[in-house]
Chains A and B, each alone.
Chain A
Amino acid sequence: MKKVGIFSLTLLLTMSFFSCQKNSNETWENVKTAGNYLHKGIDSLWSGDKDSKLLGLNSQNDGPQEEDYLPLEDSDLRSQFKATDTAIAQSSKTAKSGIPNYAHYKKPSNNTASIFKNIYFPPDGHVVQEKEDLQIIADIVRFLKKNRSANLIIEGHCDETMPASYNMALGTRRANQLRVLLIKQGVDSNRLFTVSYGKEKPIALGHTKNDWAKNRRVEFKLYER
């Protein structure tokens, strides 16, 4: 009977080892998902995490004059998360015409190329963390504060590992993240425009991890009057 007991224990240990075995990718995905749920839990404690409310066709369709769209009614969407979610609404200055004089925006020239360097991101990431990237942002802020007539387009780009449609949204997130960082350091939001090209305009045309790393980037286009 003792032998059966030892045998059963060995089997149970084997089972628990194999059933928990996962590769590193799966573990990472789980950590990410768990992290998001953790945030969700904290948000709920903070001020109640609510799903968005719907608006429909009625007299409220025209909405407030100051907005060019009907925003969601979730008050929590505006008030909460200020500490962690950093969305800043786009400038309505160019709502009808898009970016003014788009043709005049150029890739930074020899003089400015050392300031407006590309910023790179981890897979599916959008947060600027590296010290040298934060230095680039500080240099850009300094330049824009010194050159008050300069406007900037912030282009978000992605690698080819995700679908084109999702990448369009991801590139938007990257570009807006950079825009927020510049605004928070005192750059006028009316001088900053974002655009996402997703994976449509890669700079590295290969299909290796190195190529993908080069393509997950934010680029800058500058317009100086």
Chain B
Amino acid sequence: MKLLKTFLIFSFFPLMILAQEYDVVLQREKILPSVLIGSIQQKKEEKLLSTFLNVLQSDIRLSGLFHEPDLLVVSHEDSSKLKDGWLQDYAVFMKYQDSKFFLDVYESKNRTKLFSLNSDVLKTSSNTRKIAHALFDQMVFRLLNKKTIVNSRILYTVRSKKDEEFISEVWMCDYDGYNAKQLTYEKSYGVNPIFVPNRFGSSHYIFISFKNGQSKLFLGSLDGDKIFPIMPLKGNQLLPSISLSGDKLAFVSDASGRADLFVQHLNKNGVFLGKPQQIFSKPRSIQASSSFAPDGKQIVFVSDKDGSPRLYLMGLGQNRASSRPKVELISLKNRQNGSPSWSYDGRKIAFVAKTEGIYQIWIYDLETKEEWQLTKGLENKENPSFAKDSLHLVYNTEGKEGAKLYLINLMDKKPMLITKEHQECRFPSFEP
């Protein structure tokens, strides 16, 4: 018996050692409400209604707050069908009358009308998308008391070739990829555009332009195509990030001869306060992209100071530090990490990490201090940027098929392609 026990122990022990570690993930699919979108055909306004319904359907799908919506469009004669057996949690009926869109929202179980919404007068058909977004935003707020990201925009760059030279211009689009608009016409190279927080009462963005030879921080207006250099600092400036309150601008500069992390303080009008400060440097290492905590008191950045590029957290004091700040390594699971983006709720940091040979998006949970993989698939993913709901991310793929923008939400983890036309869309950044 003793021999048998010993045999069993020694038989299973190597299996325990050699067995691969599997993460057992219990599916905790959040129960999302379902929605029926109903409408009666109006032949005169067919195109308008079709656009509106498509936008509403897309907003519901992309929101991550509802199940895939069901659509029911019936003729006048069959209008009674709209009231037949609702299987969804909510029914939303839409109509267009007197140049206005109307939404009636019902709770299916008791067949009670919860509320009605109506849009402003539609002056041009090109405003249909904007109106549909606005009504969806109101509907979600009334139903779930949540703000959506339908009014958030995305900055990104489009790379192309002109006269055998690569050029890259800054563009902007809606959160779903529509209304793409070119912002720069420099025929030069621009990367890393980020929105300047709106507290300065202006609509601006900062990006890196190579138009004067070296890479420098430039300021551009969302309404015009003029750009200006903003940082009189020697050497190259790269990889900007700005705090949510707009009081700190971080970037990488090689002014010292190394790629170091710098921070420039700004006053409430957006004017630079003093000189930029070198906040992290390490011999034989380079620092790369960074992202501020929403309260601006910490920064996460990439450094290869310990061998391979990893993410580090650092506190940002208000006074000259009397002791050394702690730099905490947070990306432990993978060796090659980059492009951190701190969520607006302060709880998560999205980043890229080389996972079985492919760069995937990972999430670091600041509360549990755990990392988990968000994306899968064979294409490399880069430059994740959180939307202000802290639920959605935009990122770009890179590979043989070109570079495309995708929107993904942390709940269902299904990436949605949002770029419509260009082949090389990169460096996306959500509007704060």
Interface set of A (CB-CB < 8 Å, partner B): 4, 7-8, 11, 14-15, 18-19, 29, 32-33, 35-37, 39-40, 43, 50-58, 60-63, 67-74, 77, 80-81, 84-99, 102, 105, 153, 160, 162-166, 168-170, 172-173, 176, 179-180, 193-197, 200-201, 207
B17–A18 CB distance below 8 A: yes
Q: Which one, A54, A69, A81, A84, contacts B320 given CB within 8 A?
A: A54
Q: Mark B289-331, 1 if CB is under 8 A from A, else 0.
A: 1000000000000100111110000111111110011110000
Question: Does B273 reach chain A (CB closer than 8 Å)?
Answer: yes
Give me 20 other A-B pairs in contact (C-beta within 8 A), A37-B306, A55-B320, A63-B275 excluded.
Answer: A32-B307, A40-B306, A50-B324, A51-B326, A52-B282, A57-B319, A60-B320, A89-B256, A92-B234, A93-B234, A153-B213, A160-B398, A172-B259, A173-B259, A176-B257, A194-B235, A195-B214, A195-B215, A201-B165, A207-B400
Are A51 and B325 within 8 A (Cβ)?
yes
State whether the Cβ of B338 lies closer than 8 Å to any Cβ in chain A: yes
1/0 per position for B159-195, CB-CB distance to A under 8 A? 1000001101000000000000000000001011000
A32 to B305, CA, bound (A): 12
Q: Are B307 and A168 in contact (CB under 8 A)?
A: no
A89 to B255 alpha-carbon distance, docked (Å): 6
User: Looking at the complex, which one of B191, B229, B255, B359 makes contact with A163 (CB distance below 8 Å)?
Assistant: B359
Q: A88-B257, A105-B213 are in contact. Are A29 and B238 (CB under 8 A)?
A: no
* 17 contacting pairs across A/B (C-beta < 8 A): A8-B10, A15-B14, A50-B324, A52-B325, A53-B324, A55-B320, A57-B318, A68-B234, A69-B253, A98-B212, A98-B214, A163-B380, A164-B427, A165-B192, A166-B309, A194-B236, A201-B166
Bound CA span A126–B10, Å: 49
Contact, CB under 8 Å: B335 / A29 = yes
Q: Which residues from chain A contact B274 at a C-beta distance below 8 Å?
A: 61-63, 70
Instruction: Give the complex CA separation of A180 and B256 in angstroms.
Output: 12
Q: Is the CB of A97 within 8 A of B335?
A: no
A87 touches B257 (CB 8 A): yes
Residues in B with CB closer than 8 Å to A94 are 234
CA–CA, A40 to B320, complex, Å? 26
Give the A-binding residues of B (Cβ under 8 A): 3, 6-7, 10, 13-14, 17-18, 159, 165-166, 168, 189, 191-192, 210, 212-216, 229, 232-236, 238-239, 252-259, 262, 265, 273-284, 286-289, 302, 305-309, 314-321, 324-327, 335-336, 338-339, 352, 359, 380, 382-383, 398-400, 426-427
The answer to whether A169 touches B281 (Cβ under 8 A) is no
B374 nearest CB across to chain A (Å) = 15
Instruction: Evaluate contact between A69 and B262: CB separation under 8 angstroms.
Output: yes
B165 to chain A, nearest CB (A): 8
By the criterion CB–CB under 8 Å, are B427 and A69 in contact?
A: no
Q: Is the CB of B287 within 8 A of A169?
A: yes
Question: Given contacts A11-B14, A62-B275, is CB(A56)–CB(B317) below 8 Å?
Answer: yes
Query: Which residues from chain A contact B229 at a C-beta distance below 8 Å?
Result: 98
Q: Which residues of B contact A29 (CB under 8 A)?
A: 307-308, 335
Residues of B within 8 A of A71 (CB): 256, 278
Q: Are B159 and A200 within 8 A (Cβ)?
A: yes
Write out the residue numbers on chain B whose beta carbons fall within 8 Å of the beta carbon of A57: 265, 273, 318-319
Which one of B189, B253, B307 contacts A200 once the chains associate, using CB atoms below 8 Å? B189
Residues B307 and A70 in contact, CB atoms below 8 Å apart: no
Give me the 6 closest cross-chain CB pairs, A-B, nearest first.
Answer: A61-B274, A87-B257, A98-B212, A99-B213, A102-B213, A90-B235
Of A11, A52, A70, A93, the most chain B CB neighbours within 10 A belong to A52
What separation, in Å, do the CA atoms of A123 and B399 have in the docked complex? Answer: 18
The answer for the CA separation of A180 and B284 in the assembled complex, in Å, is 13
- Determine the chain A residues whose CB is within 8 A of the CB of B262 once the complex forms: 69
Q: Is the CB of A163 within 8 A of B382?
A: yes
CB contacts (< 8 Å) of A81 on chain B: these are 283-284
Report chain B residues within 8 Å CB of A74.
281
* A106 smallest CB distance to B (angstroms): 13
Question: By the criterion CB–CB under 8 Å, are B278 and A69 in contact?
Answer: yes
CA separation between A96 and B327, bound complex, in Å? 32
Cross-chain contact of B254 among A53, A67, A92, A194 (Cβ < 8 A): A194
What's the minimum C-beta distance from B420 to chain A, rounded to whole angstroms?
Answer: 22
In the docked arrangement, what's the CA distance between A196 and B325, Å?
30
Enumerate chain A residues within 8 angstroms of B18, measured Cβ to Cβ: 15, 18-19
Kindly list chain A residues whose C-beta atoms are within 8 Å of the C-beta of B191: 164, 168, 200
CB distance from B121 to the nearest CB of A (A): 45
Distance in angstroms between the alpha carbons of A68 and B189 in the assembled complex: 25
Given contacts A51-B325, A98-B213, contact A169 B288 (CB under 8 A): yes
Contact A72 B279 (CB under 8 A): yes
Q: Is the CB of A58 within 8 A of B255?
A: no
Q: How far is the CA of A69 from the CA of B324 in the complex (A)?
A: 20
